[in-house]
Structure 1
Amino acid sequence: MARHSSALTSLCNCLRGMPPGDIDWTSVIGLANQTLTTPALIDFVDKYAGILPEDVCTYIRHIHRRNVLRNNRLVAQLEEAVVALNDHNITPILLKGASTLATSPEARRSVRVMSDLDIMVMPDEARTAVAALCGIGYDINDQAPPESQRWHADLVRSQDVGSIDLQQAAPGPAYLYQNFGHALNHCLPAPLGRARVYIPTPAYRAFMLIVHDQFQDYGYWLGDLDLRHLVELRDLNAAEPMDWEKFTSLASDQLMKNAIETQLFALAKLFGVDIPLALRSRLLPRLQFMRQLMQARFPATRIPFLALMALDLGNYRKASSGARQGAAHPRGLWSLPRVGTVQFLLKTAVAVRAGKV
């Protein structure tokens, strides 16, 4: 990771379509591969092919063509799976990359690298959905116990390029969505070939991406950047400009507001997205973004910077305590994290995770 750290600004400039300058292409391509954004560089290559190194253009076009083939197979796989669910009177909600595949023009499907298909069904449909997918050849690779707080099932087939991540709730802690109400209130019915699905609105997709990165993937505590999802947020905003102030007002608590503004600050600084000044001026989100940049450039700082999570620990305690009302022994708002939590964060902070920097 360290040898790519200085390439972050160059890679973001390429993804923004800015004219190429003095670029260390080995580092930029390395970071693009690490952050799963290499296919998204195809627009940059098409725009500046005449002044870019030939081997850079050849490599990016090769990766893009391979991703075209992969994502076309994922679309066919997704349609087949949804048809099987429809046959059992289940109309699923497509989450994250699955919704992108379903809504993107065919020419734009290939800019995102995906490893699985996230599909959401209602809790009372979960057992039937698993049976329907097993009926077309899927095997259960992993499944949470029925009583789990967040039930999911990971289903695989040998002939497919990706797995199906079957869920019964939007990603991340449920209390973060409490101001939104039921997920179906933020979805529209849509066709998918022979199948029918629900597609979340752009604003709800953006909210889910932020929750996923900042909390389900622990990015807010670890100081991670997910460039692939930042590119997707930028593109969602370009397709349908967001009312970011209204968007932020739906945050369930101060913790979520801080996480959203951290992500918006990154969008503004790294990708030039027009974000209202009021949403990129508070101290804590600015500190979080500075931490993200510092860790990207100097990975050795990841461990000492973990102490910054204490800045928002009180807000986390308030939010999680409110979600667990009735707990027998609620912990103090400023008590230290559990030893197991600290050990997990330390281990995750030094791990190389695909898509993260």
Structure 2
Amino acid sequence: MSMLFTPYSLSGLSLKNRVVMAPMTRARAETTVPDDLTVLYYQQRAGAGLIITEGVPVSVQGRGYLFNPGLYTQEQVEGWKRVNAAVHQKQGCIFAQLWHVGRVSHTTLQPNGEAPVSSSAKLAANSNAYAYDENHQPGPIQASKPRALTVPEIADIKGDFVRAACRAMEAGFDGIEIHGANGYLFEQFINPTVNDRTDEYGGSIQNRIRLLLETIDAVAAAIGREKVGVRISPFGRLFDMAPFEDEAETWVAVAAELQKRNIAYVHLSDQLTIGAERMPEGFPKQFRASYRGTLIAAGGFDRESAEAALEAGELDLIAFGRPFIANPDLVERMKNGWPLATPDRETFYGNSGEKGYVDYPFYNPA
């Protein structure tokens, strides 16, 4: 029996298989509110054991890309209610990925045109937000120079995550995932080449991982630890994240702290498929030695490599990203050995309408 297609109990939540739809930014919600196409997009892919949504900003300040559906207004909550009802109608499970991009933003996206915020005032070199250019046209544009958050402002951001998590529960999500990966706000605190603070959020490993852990604790206290997952990208290089001296030690410390918290899961993002380097050989096993809870990983899996990781006990659930774009019925295709369709890269982000979003057909074996 193939392990990939067997049920799994995720902190008491019954998943019908071990396939996870990874979070993928699509930039399709023109008003930042989930619409009819958002509902259809997620419902089509409800064959996954677990869907993790695209990154959902917790505030206007947390945005780095136009047209992402958020969780900071009641109208957005009502839109997500429709998405979740549609997924649940297909016996699917769905977590909202809560997101603050930190410095990977632009003044045209920020309240009152202010600077983005981060652990420090260091620019994310050669890093684009998706914002408005000088002609007020949407497109990729160099992220603006940020300013360093004050300690009271850090507390406000933790509050934004708690409020977004509570809105997610109101909207009917089965849980939430805190986006601690891929060069966004939490990683900007963890990485000392960005974080030059001298207060309780900078310097030592424990200080640099403090914001992530405090946010997890605050959200878990509000909605229950069993409804909280976290995504991290050890050795990540996206958005000007440079190597640092105690890098392996830092991520092992994160693993040990997450083990103490008994949350729903940890989700490792291996950045090979999105243009960065793979995690060092052997590191996932090192992480697994410190964190023994439910472990998910994303990063170029196919059915064979997914099965091998599950059989070896390295992972509990396997996340697939791009294959889900062109194959809404990905689970059935993998289960039956049916061919996979190839997604159109030109329609990955920001196009309006159905094309490249909800118009990929289900496979017809006839």
TM-score, normalised on structure 1?
Answer: 0.30
Higher helix share: 1
Higher strand share: 2
TM-score, normalised on structure 2?
Answer: 0.29
